[in-house]
């Protein structure tokens, strides 16, 4: 079965850094685009970053220049390196993919940025 498991969240001060990881299983990881979303309480889930199987990347304007998405196809891992963190980055972060028209999501990992 398709499974996505995020890790690496935690509490960090503004200006600090954090790296999130997502371990994928149950599908041919290298063939699919992967994305990171985040959702803060009372707000809509938003796309943070996406990486296509070939390596092309896209970022939300709010994180461009601060966050980097990457993947290790040999290990079925996708990462989100977050630098220069701001309090507004506080949210639950999810990794996601779409397989055969169905969206898959991990359980999420909490990121809290204090001022």
pLDDT tens-digit map of 2-31: 999 999 999 999 999 999 999 999 999 999
DSSP per residue, the chain: --EEEEE--EEEETT--EEEEEEEESS-GGGS-EEEEEE-TTS--EEEEEE-TTS-EEE-TTTTTTEEEEEETTTTEEEEEE-S--GGG-EEEEEEEEETTEEEE---EEEEEE-
What token pair was written down for 10? 């935690």
Q: What is the pLDDT along the chain (115 residues), one digit of tens a residue?
A: 999 999 999 999 999 999 999 999 999 999 999 999 999 999 999 999 999 987 899 999 999 999 999 999 999 999 999 999 999 999 999 999 999 999 999 999 999 999 9
């Amino acid at each position: 079965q398709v499974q996505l498991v995020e890790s690496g969240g935690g509490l960090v001060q503004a200006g600090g850094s954090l790296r999130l990881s997502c371990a994928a299983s149950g599908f041919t990881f290298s063939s699919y685009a992967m994305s990171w979303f985040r959702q803060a309480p009372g707000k809509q889930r938003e796309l943070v970053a996406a990486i296509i199987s070939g390596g092309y990347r896209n970022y939300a304007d709010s994180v461009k220049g601060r966050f980097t998405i990457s993947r290790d196809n040999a290990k079925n891992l996708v990462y989100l390196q977050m630098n220069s963190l701001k309090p507004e980055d506080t949210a639950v972060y999810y990794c996601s993919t779409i397989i055969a028209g169905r969206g898959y999501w991990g359980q999420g990992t909490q990121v809290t940025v204090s001022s």
